[in-house]
Amino acid sequence: MTGPTSPQEIAKYAAARQAATYVEGGMKVGLGTGSTAAWLVRRLGERVRDEGLQIVGVPTSSSTAALAREVGVPVATLDEARWLDLTIDGADECDAELNLIKGGGGALLQEKIVATASDRMIVIADATKRVEKLGAFPLPVEVVGFGMNTTKMLLEEMLEGLDVMGNKAVPRMKDGTLFRTDEGNHILDLHLGRIGNARQLALILNQVPGVVENGLFIDICDVIVIGHGDGTVETRDINSGETGRMVHEVATDNVFVDIAD
C-alpha cells in the first residue's frame, strides 16, 4: 500500500492505523466514509491479507463498499449483520465532549444509522478536526427533493431564533447539479459559524418537514483517535476517561513503524 506523503495525510494514516488495532477477529465492523476512513479500510485489508483477520465490514457508502471489496475486506449490509461490534469513521469536527459534525462526504444518514447500531464508535481524525465549539464547518442536513426550497426557508427561519452565528442554508452541488446521496436525497449545508447548543439544535432540525437527518452526532462517539503530522497519535475514551499516546516514525518508503513511547 502506498503511504501518505503530506503531514495531513500522515496524521490521517497514523490515526487509522491506531484505530485498526481495536478490530479483533470475528468482529462485525462499520466502515466509515471519507479520506481518513479510506486509510482504515486499506489497513484492514492488509490485516485480512497478511494476518488472516476474519471480519465482516458494513460500509456506510457505495464508495466505501467498493474500496473494501477492492482490498479484500468481506462486506455485508446492515440488515445482514443486524448489530455491530464497532464502527470506525472520520469526522469533520469534534468537540471536547466527543460530539461531532459529520457529512462532508454526503454519507451522514448511513453513517449515523450504522454508528448507532454498534456497541462502540471510534472516530479517527487529524488534529485540525478538534474544536472548542462546533459550527465552523458547515453542518450538513439531508433533505428530500420534494419542496426542498420550502425546507430551506423553514430551516433558515428556525435558525434565526437559536444560538448560532449564521442561518444560511446552501444546497450542495456536484458537477453543476444538485448533489445526491446514496439514498437519492439532497444536502443543505448550514453555515452557522458557531453552534451554542448542539444537542438542542440536533433535536430541532429533525422536526422540520423535509429533513431526513442532520450531521450532528451527539452522544454517539465513544473513543477519539487524533493523528498529528509527525506521526503522533492521541486517544481518549470518553466512557472510561482513559487517554493514550503513541508515536510512529515514517520510514523512507512511507510505511509506518511502531516505536515505544
**Binding-site residues:** 33-36, 89-92, 102-105, 129
C-alpha cell at 1: 500500500
* pLDDT for residue 258: 36
Q: Which grid cell is 204?
A: 430541532
28-31 and 56-59 strand pairing? parallel
Per-residue confidence (pLDDT) for residue 257, from 0 to 100: 37
- Tell me what pLDDT residue 249 has: 57
The pLDDT assigned to 248 comes to 60
What structural domains and CATH numbers belong to the chain?
7-131+219-259 (3.40.50.1360), 139-212 (3.30.70.260)
pLDDT (tens, 9 = 90+) of the chain, 261 residues, equals 567 879 999 999 999 999 999 999 999 999 999 999 999 999 999 999 999 999 999 999 999 999 999 999 999 999 999 999 999 999 999 999 999 999 999 999 999 999 999 999 999 999 999 999 999 999 999 999 999 999 999 999 999 999 999 999 999 999 999 999 999 999 999 999 999 999 999 999 999 999 999 999 999 999 999 999 999 999 999 999 999 998 865 443 444 433 222
| C-alpha separations of 202 from 47, 82, 199 in Å | 37, 26, 5
* Catalytically active residues, by annotation: 111
Supply the pTM of this predicted model.
Answer: 0.92
- Please report, in range form, the residues annotated as the binding site for substrate: 33-36, 89-92, 102-105, 129
Q: Strand order in 121-126's β-sheet?
A: 56-59, 28-31, 86-89, 121-126, 223-227, 232-237, 243-250, 256-259
C-alpha neighbours within 13 Å on the C-beta side of residue 236: 13
**Residue-level pLDDT at 5:** 76
